Amino acid sequence: MRTFSLRGHVALVTGGSRGIGAAIVKMLGEAGCSVAVNYRERAAEAEALAKAIVTAGGKSVAIAADVSQTEAVAAMVQRASAELGPIDILVNNAGVAIVRGVDDLTEADFDQTILVNLKSAFLCTQAVLPGMRAKKWGRIVNISSGAARGAGSIGPHYNASKAGMEGLTRGYAARLVKEGITVNAVAPSLIETDMMKGQPQLASRIPLGRLGQPDEVAKAVMLLIDNPYMTGQTIAMSGGMAFN
């Protein structure tokens, strides 16, 4: 999908080595955007994505960082900016899904989920805002989940982290709208990624009859990046399971 050009723009995609993040990285690269691919453990996959963009004539770098840590985020943004230019597109995609029920959910599970899924979005947003403000242009897209509004299958800690992310989205959107910076979210439900492997029965819950694809989520992200009039919104993607 190459509907518009992002040449001259620099994107940072957290958790960009696989699944939804990788699909977003590829689509940004195809649009001519320079892309920093953040990863925590999957170096080979992240390096391969960056190499593919470079081979196609673009600019990309893979950067290892735990985005729930302040110092790591600062170093990541500094390196990405030095190698590619100031970041003006941020996709907060990094996340963890620890499946727990009410009775086996621990404080450690809760804390880790909030750190990785919610605090990381705050840290990365704060880190890139100065560059966006200097340019008077910015796009921030947060990858939420249908669990922000529904029961979800992972656990209440996950629900809380994604609901918090949508609150964060609206809070930043309201305060940055006059500075040329839009902040939106995409909330996919059941997408065919590593997280959903081995659970084909889940498709029976979806009116459309199948799991969503990572590139379908990436297309929604691109729509939000392209549209300067949308801010503070959450695009839900559930194959007809739920409606806003």
Catalytic status, residue 229: no
CA distances (Å), 117 to each of 90, 111, 143, 145, 228, in order? Answer: 15, 10, 9, 11, 26
**Helix, strand or coil for residue 144?**
coil
| Residues of the chain under the 50 pLDDT cut | 1-2
For the domain spanning 10-237, the CATH number is 3.40.50.720
Which pLDDT tens digit goes with each residue over 15-69?
Answer: 999 999 999 999 999 999 999 999 999 999 999 999 999 999 999 999 999 999 9
Non-local (6+) Cβ contacts of 109 within 8 A are 98, 100, 155, 157
Q: Which of 39, 158, 172, 229 is flagged as catalytic?
A: 158
Question: Is the distance from CB of 76 to CB of 67 less than 8 angstroms?
Answer: yes
Determine the pLDDT at residue 189.
Answer: 84
User: Would you say 88 and 9 are in contact if contact means Cβ atoms under 8 Å apart?
Assistant: yes
Please give the helix or strand (H or E) that residue 64 lies within, else none: strand 60-64
Gap between the Cα atoms of 225 and 65, Å rounded: 24
